[in-house]
Amino acid sequence: MSGGERRLSQAAEAYYKRVCTDGARLAPADVPDHERPLVDELVRLSLLEPDTEAGGLVAVDPRLAKIELGAPYYEDALLKLSAARQLPAVVARLSREFHRSVPPGGTTSGVSEIATGRAEVARRLAALTDGCAEELLDLRQRMPDDGGQDVFRRTLANRGPGFRWRTVLRTAARFLPAHRAHAAAVVEAGGEVRTEDHLIEPLLVFDRTTAVIPADLERDPTGRETVALITDPAAVDYLRGVFLTIWEDAHPFVPDADSADATERLKRSILHLLGEGLDQAAIGRELGLAPRTLNKYIALLKSDFDVASLFQLGAAVTRGHW
């Protein structure tokens, strides 16, 4: 049954109200043929049900039927959320296909340009940042290095009141001192910070005119950093929409307010992922934690649960002992 077939139609809603007005009972034999589809719809949505003692149909309190009523809406919401989470990965796959046809350092019809090597990438980002006057959207898998932080903060600090800088970081920004310091500095420079629990692909959008995304690393056998600078208006608008979808779903982050229980929240996140069956490497990727950092928190959890191994810790989580 599709979601549309399970929604309450206006005609069925009016019919349900009429049944309630008439004593909340209905004799199927007295229902005219043209009204039977409405009765079937109300039965399907659990708003009418058979009265096993007195016979006929009786109206059901909508609060008891809300699971059936809400099911199609919940399904739609989950589908949209799932699609939003997949957008960055889809964009990355498409960009790799696109840039296979672009020679290193070249362009295709003015749509994009490839920048290769850490120094060249830093130079291009610095130029874009320096010219950014209205809006910067910044999506990161990891915290930029010290030089990258300085360029962004120094250039964007104290811009005019119409300027907006939004940054989405991995969840690890809530727990690790260096990441928290970076987030605090972004806020101090006038930016807004949110965190995302799931894997994300890096994306920068400057003034709705230029987007920067990773290019195919296979293009450079040395593994040097390679990015694509997208200037096509339709492509930039699409990538901006990708960011805004993720931004709406991300969690607002106020560094000072988050500091008190950051460690406990990280431990709970690790336990949750263990309960979902993820191994240690997958947990590290999901939370954006380096192996040494994750090992430290798992050691704390083993001590909390008085167990000796990750397997025992996972078993304790499965039994609900947390």
Mean pLDDT of the chain: 75
User: Left (φ > 0), alpha (ψ -120 to 50) or beta: where does 289 sit?
Assistant: beta
Q: Which of 32-46, 59-73, 159-173, 212-226 has the highest mean pLDDT?
A: 32-46
**Residue 136: its pLDDT value, please?**
92
262-318: CATH topology is: Arc Repressor Mutant, subunit A (1.10.10)
Contact predicate 301/267, CB 8 Å: yes
Q: Is the pTM of this model over 0.95?
A: no
Q: Could you give the 3-state DSSP secondary structure of residue 194? A: strand
pLDDT in tens, 4-45: 455 678 888 889 888 888 888 888 888 889 999 999 988 888
Alpha helices for 100-139 (secondary structure H): 118-131
Residue with tokens 């995304």: 213
Q: What is the mean pLDDT of residues 213-220?
A: 63
Residue with tokens 């058979």: 50
Q: What is the mean pLDDT of residues 147-157?
A: 59
Sheet harboring 57-59: ordered strands across? 25-26, 57-59, 48-50
d(CA 33, CA 50): 19
* Per-domain residue ranges of the chain: 4-64, 101-258, 262-318
Say yes or no to pLDDT of 210 above 90.
Answer: yes
Say yes or no to pLDDT of 229 above 70.
Answer: yes
pLDDT in tens, 265-311: 778 888 888 888 888 888 887 776 778 888 888 888 888 888 888 88
Contact predicate 180/255, CB 8 Å: yes
Three-class SS of 1-36: CCCHHHCCCHHHHHHHHHHHHCCCEECHHHCCHHHH
Domain 101-258 maps to which CATH number in 3.30.870.10, 3.30.70.60, 3.40.50.300, 3.40.640.10? Answer: 3.30.870.10
